[in-house]
Amino acid sequence: MALKIGDKAPAFSVKDQDGNDVKLADFKGKKLVLYFYPKDMTPGCTAEACNLRDNYNVLLKQGYEVLGVSTDTEKAHQKFIAKEKLPFRLLADTDKKLHEAYNTWVEKSMYGRKYMGTARVTFIINEAGVIEDIIEKVNTKNHTDQILKKETVSTPAEKTAPKKSPAKKSIAAKKAPAKKTAPKKK
């Protein structure tokens, strides 16, 4: 059964990257961003994690704690955290129990091949442990804006990138040959 806004968030107990138990109950009285992502060190997952990293202090000031969840191992999470300098914990849901509780272990399809994998979904859980929002269409480069319900702003790279000019028509297309008129008959 799919979770929806207003549902009580399913309780969990999962190990973080350092082997420490992390429980939903640990966040009672706090707002929690629980984001599920497919795999450490992949382009989309790195973009999402780095956006949250770059805006981590903003999220903390708004009262949010952040936890990332994937089926990667604790060791893989440690490497990812070290490489990208992530300030938040990553949960190693290797047995997929947390994924199953949140319905994020789903059938996917790539090039016609079906397989099971993680749905990129973020759950915003309020201080009472109730799901306040579910973000199913994650914009990996502007995820913090989605969490804070702000209008998405462009990334620094997008702001400095030169704008593409509209496609120019070829000279031949601009200078189409004039229509030949038939000589008038007398």
pLDDT level of residue 184 (50, 70, 90 thresholds): low
Q: Provide the domain count of the chain.
A: 1
The catalytic residues are 45
Answer yes or no: is 57 within a domain.
Answer: yes
Determine contact, residues 122/135, Cβ cutoff 8 Å.
Answer: yes
Answer yes or no: is 68 within a domain.
Answer: yes
Read off the tokens for 68: 């990332």
- Distance (Å, rounded) from C-alpha 174 to C-alpha 157? 35
Backbone angles phi, psi at 88, to 5 degrees: -115, 165
CATH number at residue 86: 3.40.30.10
Instruction: Convert the pLDDT of each residue in 53-100 to its tens digit.
Output: 999 999 999 999 999 999 999 999 999 999 999 999 999 999 999 999
What's this model's pTM, rounded to 2 decimal places?
Answer: 0.79
Q: Which residue do the tokens 């496609």 mark?
A: 167
Structural domain of residue 102, as residue ranges? 13-142
Answer yes or no: is 117 within a domain.
Answer: yes
